[in-house]
């Protein structure tokens, strides 16, 4: 059993875990549900932080917290951790240049998200901060020339870090394409995807060394080149043979 | 490279991209894409497509999907492409499927086999591609299929593969924690990997695991600290530098982990102080990434066991952030301030002007963050200003998502800190008026509850006052167009209950208004139902009072119309109304007693009115009921039985034992009825259900809204906090008799309500136009006023340093009851001289009289300084006398502390003395007085310096040579 020293810290932690916990109850869990359903069910339904916080204030009892912390006690609670939910590149005209979704969204939700975000982000002034609230998440964006790089993260996450992840990505792109411009990305979007896959995986930054990413990408590319040469030489041979 | 046009892409594809790029409108773009979809559909079914061509088609599909169109017709081809042998095609296939498919897609089952094969491949690039796909595609059901291979790959010679394998396991853990719970040791091992990239990646799953269960990772604190130390000391390869900072992303992740591990754990925290302090010192604050690390440090410091030195560094960082021109940094500063403010409330004071600037900023994101901060620092002394501002902002925005958010915050704050019932009702009215549809219906019920019950005042005049002012305000609002339904329901209910209660308005006036509402919102049945019931109550009230009821013609038509309504509920209500009117006064009085909404309906559980019936039945030979406890043979086991009954749901499952032999149906009266079987099966069943039923019935009327409300009004807490206890305590004091009663009874809380809105009002009227000019030259006094009302302390603390200092020394956490009282006493005489500047009392009150609610009007005459001084004195005496009592309360409720704070700050407000005796410091001091709350004691500076030094020494001992603790890692990293 845990010891919690400060009431406000306890509250914070409740709010914190509430925010990240998406919980629902299994059938075996009936007795638990009947006892605590009142403050819990809304928690299960919504991910709105504020609602959750007010829920947490109703429950100062530590046992609820403990149950929350040890969520696999007997309920099935899904842990949604801090991560990047999606990355998208939007041009100044609102055209999509690249999207990568790390959380599950339907095609409809995707279009809606892009539409809403481009509306918000493109209309923001230059000196404002690079973070926008979006449905309980934070979207961090940065503009490079005519292209906006956006990244959706959790509300509690380090926004400035996300901003630097974006910059990191841009630096790698720059190194790969050699002073990258929007056209490079338009025509080689699949290459940008490969690079992004080396940088981020499952919504987390997997590699923070530019050199390592570059090395991997070039290894893949050279293999591809080899394959291509082989393919073309084979087709040449075939072509010659059939002549 | 500049590979425009790319290699191996056909003209067709390039043309597509170009034409999309040149499209002038979304419609044109859609048309092009639709055309492309048709082409691809046709092409893909052609037989014998060359592989290169196919690859391009797949990329074109990706493109279509990226633009938001459905490319599902081609998914299967992407899946097929993953089966290809050449990496060149396989990679494209994997890329496409990871982009196309969600983890629950049906096609995934076709890929799992390929993934399994590819994970075993000799070529590490193929393994990497497969692992990328694993991270995205494998779902809970398919985890077991690939898990063993992924675990094996943790030992792969290529670091890129190890890294991806770790990330894949991390993903598995997110999807189904139980699937990888046995692999924790693998993560621990990877923490010591040769390659810093792998180590960095390992931090991701560890962060998650620690987040779930802190206690089982406490042993890793030392390792994390030593890693962080090495990273900060530039021991990692140069390639990990980012803008001259050593591996900042890894540092940030480590700081996140340490924050979790150190939270609430003094011992663990002490091991971290050293390294966190180092990072504070080393981080370069000129680059973005440096600031990101610093911000993470502040987060860490605010989470772990507090250390005065680190808190100081954190405060410095925050100050730098807030002073910066960059909005990003300001934003982070506000956020960090919100984190730190609970540990050291005094830090907010030095930044109050910066905070107010952020509140005024045109940038919405920044503004919202600032509201979040204000929300965190709300207390009863500043709740009015803050909630006022929040509501103003709420009215100005359109974003429903955020509106709901801020509304719930307003309601929460208002319910928690409301200084008076009046204010609460006014605030709720505003909230309902502007965002009624977004408010939880329970909030409305709470409001009705509040109006019906008051807050436990025994004083009837206060009580009726509250109601009549509510009625007044609703009658004023009711004419407004387009009110939200929820609000109308409240209005109707209140008018029905209390509309005619104080005799100010005639029944016909109120009923006329109710009819208007019912007509104006004729398609809202709930509102109509509320209105009709309200009409009924008013008529009943009239009849009970012996007056003749004259039903207005429009009411008559309304009732007739409703009695023919489609809604049976409305019909029922209309008929009931007609029936009630037809009764005589005595009966009506019985059916609908006036002002009984909050009275509990008493239920006699014994149901005595059934006695006759039971006796008659027994005479006729029925079995008497024998209480469970008296049943023979079961008295001891009855408890168990009952348990069984509760566990077995009412619908009995199958029975596998044989049934007992049937008993004689009619048992003679005297014999105890009872075989095991029958008592088990028959008798106890009705008993508990009966109990439950009555309990529910009893509790229903009293706590109709106490149930599942997650934004429930906390009545007990509020009772203590709001007005009343103050009054009772003051009336208990003997120092002044009659005049004191009037003053104490009303003035202090009222004073608080009158003055603080005045401050914000004054600010709003004069501040806006003069802002720009004044900002450059000096800080406008209005801003200072706002600051003072928000922060409770003065923005000109230097001037009053003697006062503040004096109080602070008095407020040192000396922990005794005796000291608490003198501290308050000491403050009293200092308060009395009228303040020289900042807020002029006379002017203020005059300025505010207009918009205020009538009850206060009568009291304004009393607000002269003489009386105030006396009232202050009284209060101080009272609180001093009350000291020990209050202390006794601290143990169990924080509300008492709050109340004390409020009590004092209201005097402050009246005196316009925004000085060291702010409620913040009062809170702190009283908090310090609690022997149990070590934390505050630690936190406030004075006597713990010695402790802190000792701790530092200890940290130094522990932290300097971590290599001994984790030699393996150290060696690895050093090479």
pLDDT tens, position by position, B530-548: 888 888 888 888 887 777 7
Model pLDDT for residues B101-130, shown as the tens digit of each residue: 988 888 998 999 999 999 999 889 999 999
Report the gap between the CA of B167 and the closest CA in chain A (Å): 7
Distance CA B82, CA B99 (A): 13
Out of B489-493, B523-527, B607-611, least confident range: B607-611
Angle B117-B118-B121 from CA coordinates, rounded to 5°: 100
Is the model's pLDDT at A62 over the cut of 60? no
Query: Chain B contacts of A121, Cβ < 8 Å?
Result: none
- A96-101, strands of its sheet edge to edge: A96-101, A84-91, A147-154, A137-144, A131-134
A·B CB contacts under 8 A:
256
Nearest to B853 by CA among B934, B932, B757: B757
Q: How does residue A192 score in pLDDT terms, banded at 50, 70 and 90?
A: very high
Q: What's the mean pLDDT in B588-604?
A: 68
Report the gap between the CA of A63 and the closest CA in chain B (Å): 15
Report the gap between the CA of B942 and the closest CA in chain A (Å): 20
Model pLDDT for residues B491-501, shown as the tens digit of each residue: 888 888 887 77
Contact A9 B21 (CB under 8 A): no
3-state secondary structure B897-941: HHHHHHHHHHHHHHHCCCCCCCHHHHHHHHHHHCCCCHHHHHHCC
Please enumerate in sequence order all residues whose Cβ is within 8 A of that of B940, keeping only pairs 6 or more positions apart, or say none: B812, B813, B924, B928
Query: Chain A contacts of B212, Cβ < 8 Å?
Result: 69, 71, 79
Distance CA B249, CA B554 (A): 72
Q: What's the mean pLDDT in B87-113?
A: 90
Exposed/middle/buried for B835, CB within 10 Å: 0-12, 13-18, 19+? middle
SS3 category, A96: strand
Query: Chain A contacts of B216, Cβ < 8 Å?
Result: none
pTM above 0.95, yes or no: no
Higher-pLDDT residue of B251, B876: B251
Model pLDDT for residues B796-817, shown as the tens digit of each residue: 444 433 333 334 333 344 444 4
Angle B893-B895-B896 from CA coordinates, rounded to 5°: 85
Strand partners, A98: A89
Report the gap between the CA of B975 and the closest CA in chain A (Å): 18
| Identity of the residue in A96, A129, A187 whose CB atom sits nearest the CB atom of B17 | A187
Residue A230 has a pLDDT of 67
Please enumerate in sequence order all residues whose Cβ is within 8 A of that of B151, keeping only pairs 6 or more positions apart, or say none: B165, B169, B183, B186
Distance CA B16, CA A241 (A): 35
Report the gap between the CA of B883 and the closest CA in chain A (Å): 23
Contact A3 B363 (CB under 8 A): no
For residue B75, count other CB atoms closer than 10 A to its CB.
Answer: 20
Residue B903 has a pLDDT of 43
Query: Chain B contacts of A104, Cβ < 8 Å?
Result: 102-104
Average pLDDT, chain B: 71
Query: Chain A contacts of B196, Cβ < 8 Å?
Result: 209
Is the model's pLDDT at B94 over the cut of 90? yes
Residue B699 CA: distances (Å) to CA of B264, B603, B607: 39, 10, 17
For residue B592, count other CB atoms closer than 10 A to its CB.
Answer: 18
Higher-pLDDT residue of B584, B727: B584
Model pLDDT for residues B812-833, shown as the tens digit of each residue: 444 444 444 444 444 444 444 4
What does the buried/exposed string (b/e) look like for B529-564 if buried means 16 or more CB atoms within 10 Å of the residue's CB? bbbbbbbbbbbbbbbbeeeeeebbeebeebbeebbe
Distance CA B272, CA B264 (A): 13
For residue B215, count other CB atoms closer than 10 A to its CB.
Answer: 11
Nearest to B633 by CA among B679, B664, B669: B679
Residue B519 has a pLDDT of 86
Nearest to B710 by CA among B523, B445, B380, B481: B445
Distant-in-sequence contacts of B770-775, Cβ < 8 A, 24+ apart? B771/B360
Contact B66 A99 (CB under 8 A): yes
Q: In which element (H, E) is residue A98 found? A: strand A96-101
Model pLDDT for residues B569-582, shown as the tens digit of each residue: 888 888 888 888 88
Is the model's pLDDT at B227 over the cut of 90? yes
Nearest C-alpha in A relative to B407: A50
| Identity of the residue in B63, B200, B327 whose CB atom sits nearest the CB atom of A208 | B200
Is the model's pLDDT at B482 over the cut of 50? yes
Distance CA A102, CA A84 (A): 7
Q: What's the mean pLDDT in B196-216?
A: 88
Strand partners, A96: A90
SS3 category, A2: coil
Higher-pLDDT residue of B489, B705: B489
Pick among A183, A201, A224 to test the B interface (most B CBs inside 10 A): A201
Nearest C-alpha in A relative to B160: A216
Q: How does residue A203 score in pLDDT terms, banded at 50, 70 and 90?
A: confident
Out of B95-109, B138-152, B539-553, B761-775, least confident range: B761-775
- Rounded to 10°, the helix B919-929/B801-810 angle is 20
Share above pLDDT 90 across residues of chain A, in percent, rounded to a whole number: 26
| Identity of the residue in A49, A128, A158 whose CB atom sits nearest the CB atom of B363 | A128
Is the model's pLDDT at A227 over the cut of 70? no
What are the φ/ψ torsions at residue A96 (nearest 5 degrees)? -80, 130
| Identity of the residue in B92, B288, B934 whose CB atom sits nearest the CB atom of A163 | B288
Nearest C-alpha in A relative to B11: A187
For residue B210, count other CB atoms closer than 10 A to its CB.
Answer: 22
> What is the C-alpha R_g of chain A?
24
Share above pLDDT 70 across residues of chain B, in percent, rounded to a whole number: 63
Pick among A28, A77, A108, A158 to test the B interface (most B CBs inside 10 A): A158
């Amino acid at each position: 059993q845990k010891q919690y020293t400060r009431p406000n810290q306890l509250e914070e932690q409740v709010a914190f875990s509430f925010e990240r916990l998406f919980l629902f109850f299994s059938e075996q869990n009936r007795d638990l549900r009947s006892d605590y359903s009142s403050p819990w069910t809304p928690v299960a339904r919504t991910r709105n932080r504020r609602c959750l916080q007010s829920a947490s204030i109703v429950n100062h009892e530590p046992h609820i917290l403990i149950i929350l912390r040890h969520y696999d006690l007997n309920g099935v609670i899904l842990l949604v951790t801090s991560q990047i939910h999606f990355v998208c590149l939007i041009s100044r005209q609102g055209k999509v240049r690249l999207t990568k979704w790390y959380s599950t969204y339907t095609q409809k939700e995707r279009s809606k998200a892009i539409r809403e975000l481009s509306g918000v982000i493109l209309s923001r002034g230059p000196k404002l901060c690079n973070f926008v609230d979006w449905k309980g998440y934070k979207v961090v964006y940065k503009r490079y020339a005519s292209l906006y790089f956006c990244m959706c993260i959790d509300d509690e996450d380090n926004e400035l870090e996300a901003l630097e992840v974006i910059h990191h990505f841009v630096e790698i792109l720059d190194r790969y394409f050699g002073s990258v411009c929007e056209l490079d990305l338009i025509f080689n979007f699949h290459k940008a995807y490969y690079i992004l896959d080396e940088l981020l995986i499952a919504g987390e930054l997997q590699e923070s060394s530019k050199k390592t990413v570059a090395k991997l990408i070039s290894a893949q590319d050279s293999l591809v080149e080899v394959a291509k040469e082989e393919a073309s030489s084979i087709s040449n041979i075939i072509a010659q043979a059939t002549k | 490279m500049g590979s425009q046009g790319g290699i191996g892409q056909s003209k067709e594809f390039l043309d597509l991209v170009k034409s999309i790029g040149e499209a002038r409108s979304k419609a044109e773009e859609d048309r092009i894409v639709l055309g492309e979809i048709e082409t691809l559909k046709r092409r893909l079914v052609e037989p014998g497509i060359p592989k290169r061509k196919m690859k391009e088609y797949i990329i074109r599909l990706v493109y279509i999907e990226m633009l938001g169109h459905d490319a599902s017709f081609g998914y299967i081809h992407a899946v097929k492409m993953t089966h290809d042998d050449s990496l060149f095609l396989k990679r494209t296939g994997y890329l496409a499927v990871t982009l196309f498919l969600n983890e629950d897609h049906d096609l995934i089952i076709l890929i799992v086999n390929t993934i399994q094969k590819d994970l075993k491949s000799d070529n590490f690039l193929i393994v990497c591609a497969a692992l990328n796909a694993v991270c995205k595609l494998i779902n809970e059901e398919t985890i077991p299929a690939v898990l063993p291979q992924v675990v094996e790959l943790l030992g792969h010679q290529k670091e890129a593969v190890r890294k991806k394998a770790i990330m894949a396991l991390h993903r598995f853990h997110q999807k189904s924690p139980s699937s990888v719970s046995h692999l924790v040791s693998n993560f621990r091992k990877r923490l010591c990997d040769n390659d810093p990239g792998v180590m960095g990646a390992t931090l991701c799953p560890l962060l998650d695991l620690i987040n779930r269960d802190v206690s089982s990772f406490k042993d890793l604190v030392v390792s994390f600290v030593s890693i962080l130390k090495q990273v900060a000391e530039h021991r990692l390869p140069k390639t990990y530098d980012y803008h001259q900072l050593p591996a900042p992303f890894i540092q940030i992740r480590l700081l996140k982990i340490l924050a979790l591990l150190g939270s609430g754990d003094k011992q663990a925290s002490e091991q971290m102080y050293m390294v966190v302090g180092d990072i504070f010192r080393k981080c370069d604050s000129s680059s973005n990434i440096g600031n990101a690390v610093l911000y993470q440090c502040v987060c860490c410091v605010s989470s772990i066991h507090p250390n005065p030195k680190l808190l100081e560094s954190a405060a410095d960082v925050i100050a730098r952030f807030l002073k910066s021109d960059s909005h990003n940094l300001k934003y982070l500063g506000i956020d960090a301030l919100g984190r730190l403010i609970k540990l050291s409330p005094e830090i907010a004071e030095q930044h109050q002007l910066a905070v107010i600037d952020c509140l005024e900023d045109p940038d919405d994101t920044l503004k919202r963050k600032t509201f979040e901060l204000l929300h965190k620092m709300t207390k009863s002394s500043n709740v009015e200003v803050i909630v006022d501002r929040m509501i103003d902002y709420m009215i100005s925005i359109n974003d429903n998502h955020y509106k709901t958010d801020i509304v719930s915050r307003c309601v929460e704050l208002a319910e928690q800190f409301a200084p008076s019932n009046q204010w609460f009702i006014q605030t709720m009215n505003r909230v309902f008026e502007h965002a009624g549809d977004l408010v939880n219906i329970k909030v409305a019920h709470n409001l009705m509850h509040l109006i019906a019950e008051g807050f436990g005042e025994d004083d009837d005049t206060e009580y009726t006052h509250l109601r009549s002012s509510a009625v007044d305000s609703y009658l004023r609002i009711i004419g407004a167009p387009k009110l939200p339904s929820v609000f109308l329901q409240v209005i109707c209910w209140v008018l029905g209950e209390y509309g005619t209660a104080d005799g100010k308005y005639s029944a016909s006036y109120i009923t006329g208004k109710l009819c208007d509402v019912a007509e104006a919102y004729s398609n809202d049945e709930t509102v109509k139902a509320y209105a009709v019931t309200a009409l009924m109550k008013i008529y009943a009230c009239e009849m009970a009072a012996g007056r003749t009821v004259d039903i207005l013609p429009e009411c008559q038509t309304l009732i007739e119309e409703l009695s023919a309504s489609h809604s049976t509920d409305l019909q029922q209500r209309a008929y009931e109304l007609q029936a009630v009117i037809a009764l005589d006064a005595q009966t009506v009085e019985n059916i609908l007693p006036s002002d009984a909404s909050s009275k509990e309906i008493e239920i006699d559980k014994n149901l005595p009115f059934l006695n006759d019936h039971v006796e008659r039945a027994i005479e006729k030979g029925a079995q008497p009921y024998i209480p469970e406890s008296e049943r023979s043979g079961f008295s001891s086991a009855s408890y168990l039985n009952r348990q069984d009954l509760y566990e077995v749901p009412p619908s009995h499952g199958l029975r596998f034992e044989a049934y007992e032999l049937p008993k004689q149906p009619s048992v003679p009266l005297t014999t105890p009825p009872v075989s095991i079987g029958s008592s088990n099966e028959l008798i106890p069943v009705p008993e508990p259900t009966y109990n439950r039923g009555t309990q529910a019935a009893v509790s229903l009327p009293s706590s109709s809204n106490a149930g599942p409300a997650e934004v429930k009004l906390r009545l007990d807490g509020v009772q203590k906090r709001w007005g009343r206890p103050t009054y009772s305590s003051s009336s208990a004091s003997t120092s002044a008799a009659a005049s004191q009663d009037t003053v104490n009874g009303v003035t202090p809380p009222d004073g608080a309500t009158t003055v603080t809105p005045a401050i914000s009002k004054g600010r709003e009227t004069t501040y806006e136009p003069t802002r720009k000019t004044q900002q450059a030259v000096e800080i406008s006094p209005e801003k200072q006023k706002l600051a003072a009302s928000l922060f409770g302390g003065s923005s000109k603390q230097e001037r009053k340093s003697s006062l503040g200092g004096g109080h602070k020394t008095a407020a040192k956490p000396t922990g005794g009851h005796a000291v608490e009282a003198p501290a308050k006493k000491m403050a009293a005489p200092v308060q009395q001289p009228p303040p020289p500047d900042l807020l002029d009392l006379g002017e203020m009150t005059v300025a505010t009289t207009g918009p205020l609610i009538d009850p206060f009007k009568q009291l304004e005459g009393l607000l002269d300084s003489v009386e105030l001084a006396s009232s202050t004195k009284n209060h101080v005496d009272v609180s001093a006398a009350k000291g020990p009592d209050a202390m006794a309360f601290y143990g169990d409720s924080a509300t008492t502390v709050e109340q004390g704070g409020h009590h004092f700050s209201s005097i402050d407000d009246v005196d316009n003395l925004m000085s060291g005796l702010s409620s913040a410091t009062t809170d702190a001091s009283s908090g310090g007085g609690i022997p149990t709350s070590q934390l505050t004691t630690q936190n406030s500076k004075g006597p713990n310096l010695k402790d802190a030094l000792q701790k530092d020494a200890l940290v130094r001992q522990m932290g300097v040579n971590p290599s001994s603790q984790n030699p393996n890692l150290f060696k690895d990293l050093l090479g």
